[in-house]
Structure 1
C-alpha cells in the first residue's frame, strides 16, 4: 500500500513541471509584453503624443485612419483641444500623424496583450493546466488589466479639459503603478511555478527583501510624477540642486496650500525623487551586506548582491538622464531598468521562505 502511494506521489511530482511549464512560459511572456507596454507608454508621454487620439473606441479604434479624409477628421478633433491651441498650434498634418501613431501603437499593444492573456487562459483552463487558486489568481490579474485600461482613458480625459496641455500627473502615477502591479503579480506567479529550492532565510532578510519591493514601487511613483510635470527639465545638476544639497524652503514649497507642493512643485517633486533614490540604494546595499554575512555563498546572497548592483546602475542612469536634460533614449532606459529592478526584487522575495520550525522532542 505504501509503495503504491509512493509511486503515485512520484508520478505527480514528475507530471507537475510538465503541466505548469507552458503556463509559466506564458506568464513570463505576458510580463515581457507588459514591460514593453510600459516603455511604449513612456515614449508616448515623452513625445507628448498621449492626447493625439481624443476618443475612446475599444473596437473600431483598432483601425488606423484609411484615407486622407479620415486623417483630417482626427486632426480636426485634435485641433479642438487645449494642447493644440497652447502648445502645438500650427502643427502640420504630417507632424500630427507622427504623434498619433505613438498613441495608436500604445493602445494597439494593449489590445494585443488582452488577446494574449484571455485566449491562452481559456485554453489552459480547458486543458486543466490552470485550475483552482492559480486560475482565480490569474483572473484577478486580468481584471487589473481591465482596470488599467479604464484608468488610462480617465488619465487621457484629464488632459482634454480646458486649460490642460498634458495628463494630470497624479493620474499618470496611478496608471504607472497599476501597470507595475500587474507586472509584479505576473513575475510573482511565474516564479512560484518554477522548479527551484526556496531558501530558508531569516525573518530580517525576508523583511528587507519585502521592503525593497515597497520602496522601489514608491520610487517609481515619484518618478511618474516627475515625468508628469516634466520636472526633469529643470535643476539639471547633481549632486547639488539649485546650488545646494537641500534647496531652500521657498524653492521647494512655492505653492499654497502646502500639501499641493508634493504633486505640483517641480522642485519638491524632483527633490523627493532624488531622496527616494538615496534611500533605495542604501537599503539595497544594507540588504546585500546582511545577506552575505548571514547566508555566505548562498543563492540569496548572490541575488541580493546583484540587486544592489542594479540599483547602483539605475542611479547612474538617472543622474545621466538628468544631466543630459532628459533625452528620449536615456529616459526610456531609466524607466525600463526601474521596472526590471522591480521584477528582480519580486523574484528575489518569491524565492525566500521562513526556516522550518524545529521539531518538538519526542516524549518517552
Structure 2
C-alpha cells in the first residue's frame, strides 16, 4: 500500500457532518483490525497444521455449522479421503486425527464470517443514521468489497490443493495473504485518521526522508509476500541454519535451468534465499530511517512511531531466525506471522506521521 493511494480523510471532512461519530467509528475499526490480526494467526495455525484442505465443501451459508452427528463426520471424512492430500500424505488417518485438522479450517472460515458480521452490521447502522464522517463512506464500501473478495480468493486458493498436490498453490497463498494485509492496513490507516488525527498545519517531513519511509513500508510488504512463497512450498524446512545455507551464501539448487525465471518462485532454495535477502534489506532500510530520524527534529509521536518500527523489525528478524533454526516450531512460526502483521501496521503508522496534514480535532470528535 503506497502513500499515494492510501485514504487521507481528515477531521476537517468529519466536522462537515454534525452527526458524525468519528471516535466511535474509530474504535469499531480498531475492533475489526484486531479481528483481522487474529484471523492471520488462525490462518497461520491452519497452514502449519496442514489443515487447510480438510474441508472439501464450500457452503457460504450453512458452513458455519460443524458436523454434529457421527454419520455427518463420516460423510465429510469420506470426501476428504478423495483428495490428493489424503492419498499422498495422510493414508490411514483416523477419524479423530481428521477432526483435529478439520477444526482449524472450520474455525478459520467461521472467524472470516464473524469479521464480515462485525464489519457490516455497524457499517450499515452508522450509514443509515448518517453518522459516518464525510469522505469515509466510500472507503468503507471498498473494505466491504475487499472482505467479500477475500472469501472468493480463499475458495480459489483451497481448490488449488485438491489436484495432484498436498498443499495449496504458493502463488494463490501469496495473493490471499496480500489481500489480508491490504485489508488490515486499510482498516488501520482509517482508524488512525479518526483516533489520532495529525495536528493542524503540521508540515510533512522532508521529501527524501518521507520517501525512505515509503520504501521501508514497500520492502516490508514485499518481504511478507515472499514469506508466503516460503510457507506455500514449505521451504522453511530446509537449510535450518544461519547465516549460511548449506555452508554457502547462495545455496546449490538456487537456479533450475529447466524452470528459468520461475526458479525464483518455485525452487525451495530460491524462495528461502530471497526471503532472507529481503529481510536483510528490510532491516537495513528501517535502520536507516531510525538513524536518520535521530539527526532530525521531529514531533514526539513521529519519533515514537519510527522507534517502535525499528524495535519491531529487530524482534521480527530474531523471530525469523529462531523459526528457521527450530525447523519451524509451531509457536515460533505463529509469532513470526504475528510479528509480520505488527511490523506492517507500525510502518503504516510511520507513513501517517511522516505525511503531515491538516487534521484537527473538533466538536465532532465525540462518542
Scaled by the length of structure 1, the TM-score of the pair is 0.90
Tell me the equivalent position of 1:362: none
Number of the residue aligned with 2:310: 308
- How far apart are residue 14 of structure 1 and its match? 12
Which residue of structure 1 aligns with residue 182 of structure 2?
181
Structure 1 residues 276 and 62: alpha-carbon distance in aligned structure 2, compared to 1, 3 A threshold: same
Structure 1 counterpart of 2:268, from 266, 277, 284: 266
Deviations 1:98-138 (A, max 9, x none): 00000000000011011001100011112222154201111
- Corresponding residue for residue 74 of structure 1: 76
Gaps of 5+ in 2: 1-10, 359-367
Structure 1 residue 297 displacement after superposition: 6.7
Indicate how the Cα distance of structure 1 residues 123 and 68 shifts in structure 2: closer, same or farther if over 3 A, else same: same
Q: Partners of 1:355 and 1:331 in 2: how far apart?
A: 38
| C-alpha separation in 2, matches of 1:52 and 1:197 | 47
Deviates more, 1:121-130 or 1:109-118: 121-130
Shift of residue 296 of structure 1?
5.4
Per-residue deviation, 1:264:
1.1
Q: How far apart in 2 are the matches of 1:94 and 1:283? A: 48
Q: Which residue of 2 aligns with 1:34?
A: 36
Map residues 134-283 of structure 1 onto 2, 5 A cutoff. Answer: 134-161=136-163, 163-198=164-199, 199-200=202-203, 201-248=205-252, 251-254=253-256, 256-283=258-285
2:288 aligned residue? 286
Aligned-pair CA distance for 1:246: 2.5
Aligned residues of 1:31 and 1:186 also touching (Cα < 8 A): yes
Instruction: Report which of the two has the higher share of helix.
Output: 1
TM-score computed with the length of structure 2 as normaliser: 0.89
**Cross-structure match for 1:339:** 341
Q: 1:116 to 1:354 in 2, by over 3 A?
A: closer
Q: Partners of 1:342 and 1:126 in 2: how far apart? A: 33
State the partner residue of 1:127.
129
Consecutive unaligned residues of structure 1, counting only runs of 5 or more, are: 1-8, 357-364
Deviations 1:185-204 (CA, angstroms, capped at 9, x unpaired): 00111101124434531112
Q: Deviations over 1:247-274 (max 9, x none)?
A: 24xx201351211112210001000000
- When Rg is computed on C-alpha atoms for both structures, the one with the higher figure is 1
Instruction: Deviation per CA, 1:275-302: give whole Å up to 9, x if none.
Output: 0010000000101111221225733223
Q: Is the 8 A contact 1:255 1:265 kept in 2?
A: no
Number of matched pairs: 344
Q: CA 1:297/1:142 → structure 2, altered by over 3 Å: closer, same or farther?
A: closer
Taking the aligned partners of 1:179 and 1:299, their CA distance within structure 2 comes to 27
Q: Distance in 1 between matches of 2:270 and 2:112?
A: 33
Aligned partners of 1:125 and 1:131 also within 8 Å: no
Find the partner of 1:105 among 104, 107, 125. 107
How big is each residue's C-alpha offset from its partner over 1:18-46, in whole Å with a ceiling of 9 and x where there is no partner? 72111000001100000111111111010
8 Å CA contact 1:202–1:354 kept in 2: the answer is: no
Larger RCO, structure (CA 8 Å, separation 6 or more): 2
Distance change >3 Å, CA 305–CA 17, structure 1 → 2: farther
